[in-house]
Amino acid sequence: GDSVTQMEGPVTLSEEAFLTINCTYTATGYPSLFWYVQYPGEGLQLLLKATKADDKGSNKGFEATYRKETTSFHLEKGSVQVSDSAVYFCALRDNYGQNFVFGPGTRLSVLP
């Protein structure tokens, strides 16, 4: 079945550092790929998405590129802020439009 693997956390960075959170997936066909962010005590918010190979999703300084050849969708940000501290979830939905598959989440802590 479909699956999503993310790097284990927690990830701790200093403010203005470069962020990469790795995400790889296993799926048949051409899934849509997503990154969600969860702030403490809240629900998940869509951060960015890509629906086909080579698409780049971007939002709030975060970027991720859909790489079909490496089945990856790594999240990057050039300069993190304390306010970026949250849990980040990589997810996919297969091209049959069925339910999402979420990764386990990666907790990011940004120190001032």
Alpha-carbon span 80 to 67, nearest angstrom? 23
CA-to-CA separations, 31 to 16, 28, 48, in angstroms, rounded: 32, 8, 15
Minimal distance, residue 82 CB to another protein, in Å: 21
Contact 109, 21 (CB under 8 A): no
**How crowded is residue 107: how many other Cβ atoms within 10 Å of its Cβ?**
14
Applying CB under 8 A, what is the total number of residues that bind another protein?
Answer: 25
Query: Would you count residue 34 as binding another protein (CB under 8 A)?
Result: yes
The 78-107 site mask, x for binding another protein (CB under 8 A), equals -----------x-x-x-x-xxxx-xxxx-x
Alpha-carbon gap, residue 80 to 86, rounded angstroms: 12
Q: Which of 42, 69, 70, 112 binds another protein (CB under 8 A)?
A: 42
Among residues 76, 73, 102, the alpha carbon closest in space to that of 89 is found at 102
> SS3 of 64, please?
strand
Which residue stretch of 17-25, 28-36, 62-70, 72-80 sits at the interface with another protein (rule: CB under 8 A)?
28-36
Asked if 68 touches another protein (CB under 8 A), the answer is no
User: Taking CB under 8 A as the rule, does residue 41 contact another protein?
Assistant: yes
Q: What is the binding site for another protein (CB under 8 A)?
A: 32, 34, 36, 41-46, 49, 51-52, 89, 91, 93, 95, 97-100, 102-105, 107
